[in-house]
Structures are given as structure tokens and as C-alpha cells.
């Protein structure tokens, strides 16, 4: 037992080393937003601003901003904060123009869990974490408005997995979804894309993102 303090110290050092690795990419994750400006990003960046280290969509503005780099299979980790009724989205394998919900592999919804109480009824495939218009995510895992949520998204082939605040809310293979069941019977021509940019699809609300890190997968 006399060695217990030394063990605690070693574990503490290990923990801090892990945090350092996470920041400098030694664990495979690379920071894609520097917390200061839009270096490395493209699209209508004038519709967004950086506030206290976070990307914020300007109220009443929007459009999809995206990384200059493209990704095939990857994991993205980030934090987001939604105002009441806030609406945004994660652009997955975005081609660089058009509506990512249709021309990208998909748009993963970033939405206030109470959106329908503030703005009106939602289709289940529109709630937070859903592959927009295609597959519904599990609801009710968001923190209260104004608090930061942690999310991890894994994209491999045609599969998507979304973990929100430690709980899996979506785990699906989009190639197995019947197109005839898509919301509004809308076509998704980008569904089969194997590579593209990662980004944020703003819809006029001051949704915030920070600590955006991506790990490429084989």
C-alpha cells in the first residue's frame, strides 16, 4: 500500500499525456478548427463567426461551410451548443456545393430536442442525430439549451454511428434503407458518395461548435 501515492501520480501523468496526445494528433485525431479563424475552411464563412473559441452561425445567416480536406472513412468528435429551437447539421462527404442533405452522403441533424415545441411538428427523421430524411435517431439525450454536448460520429462505407453524450443514438447502414421510404420520397443522389468534405450546414440559428477533431480510418 505504501506505493499507492506513486501509482496515483503515474496514472495522473498518463491521463494528462492522453489529453496532450488528443490535441497534437498522436492518437490519430487531428484538430480541424483552430478556435481563432476559418483557416482550412471553405464556403460562405462570412455567414459564420468565431466567438470564444467556437464556430457560430450568425443569426439569420447560414449555408454550408466545410473543410478544405476531403475524407472517406473517418471519426469526428466535437462539441455543440444549441439555442432554443436551434437548427444546423453536419455535412457528411459533402461535394462542396449544393444541399448536403441530398448531394452529400447525408446531413446529420443538429437540432434542439425541443424544436417541435418551439417551431412545430417534426418528422422522426428530422430530430437531432438523424440522417436527414432517411433514418431517425434516438431522442432525449441532449443537455439543456445553453449547455455543451459531446458527440462522436463514425463514418465507414455506407454506415453511420452517432454517439451523443456517451449514448448511441444512431447506428445504421444507409445502403439498406429503402429509397421509397425516404421522407417526402425525396431522392438523395449523393448517398453513394465515398469521399467528400466535412462541414456545418447552418439554417439561420446561432448554433455553436468547438473542439472539432477528425481521425481518418482505413
pLDDT tens digits, 80-130: 999 999 999 999 999 999 999 999 999 999 999 999 887 889 999 999 999
Same domain flag for 156 and 73: yes
Same domain flag for 15 and 111: no
pTM of the model: 0.87
Same domain flag for 111 and 16: no
Same domain flag for 12 and 38: no
User: What are the C-alpha distances in Å from 171 to residues 13, 116, 119, 164, 206?
Assistant: 35, 23, 27, 12, 28
Same domain flag for 8 and 52: no
Same domain flag for 11 and 73: no
Same domain flag for 5 and 85: no
Q: Looking at the 3D structure of the chain, how many domains does it have? A: 2
Domain residue limits at 120 = 32-216
Residue 141's CATH number: 2.60.120.560
Same domain flag for 59 and 12: no
134-180 pLDDT, tens per residue?
999 999 999 999 999 999 999 999 999 999 999 999 999 999 999 99
Same domain flag for 21 and 90: no
User: What are the C-alpha distances in Å from 123 to residues 3, 54, 134, 154, 206?
Assistant: 58, 29, 10, 24, 22
Same domain flag for 43 and 22: no
DSSP letter at 27? T
Same domain flag for 66 and 103: yes
Same domain flag for 84 and 155: yes
Amino acid at each position: 500500500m505504501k506505493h499507492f501515492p506513486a501509482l496515483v501520480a503515474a496514472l495522473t501523468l498518463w491521463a494528462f499525456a492522453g489529453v496532450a496526445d488528443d490535441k497534437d494528433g498522436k492518437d490519430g485525431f487531428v484538430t480541424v478548427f483552430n478556435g481563432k479563424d476559418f483557416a482550412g475552411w471553405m464556403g460562405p464563412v462570412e455567414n459564420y463567426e468565431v466567438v470564444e473559441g467556437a464556430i457560430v452561425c450568425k443569426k439569420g445567416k447560414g449555408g454550408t461551410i466545410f473543410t478544405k480536406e476531403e475524407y472517406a472513412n473517418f471519426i469526428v468528435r466535437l462539441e455543440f451548443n444549441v439555442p432554443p429551437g436551434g437548427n444546423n447539421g453536419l455535412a457528411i462527404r459533402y461535394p462542396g456545393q449544393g444541399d448536403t442533405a441530398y448531394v452529400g452522403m447525408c446531413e446529420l441533424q443538429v437540432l434542439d430536442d425541443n424544436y417541435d415545441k418551439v417551431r412545430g411538428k417534426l418528422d422522426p427523421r428530422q430530430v437531432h442525430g438523424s440522417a436527414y430524411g432517411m433514418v431517425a435517431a434516438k431522442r432525449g439525450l441532449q443537455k439543456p439549451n445553453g449547455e455543451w454536448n459531446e458527440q462522436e460520429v463514425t463514418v465507414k462505407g455506407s454506415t453511420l454511428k452517432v454517439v451523443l453524450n456517451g449514448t448511441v443514438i444512431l447506428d445504421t447502414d444507409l445502403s439498406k434503407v429503402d429509397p421509397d421510404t425516404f421522407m417526402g420520397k425525396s431522392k438523395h443522389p449523393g448517398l453513394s458518395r465515398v469521399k467528400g468534405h466535412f462541414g456545418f450546414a447552418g439554417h439561420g440559428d446561432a448554433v455553436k461548435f468547438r473542439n472539432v477533431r477528425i481521425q481518418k480510418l482505413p
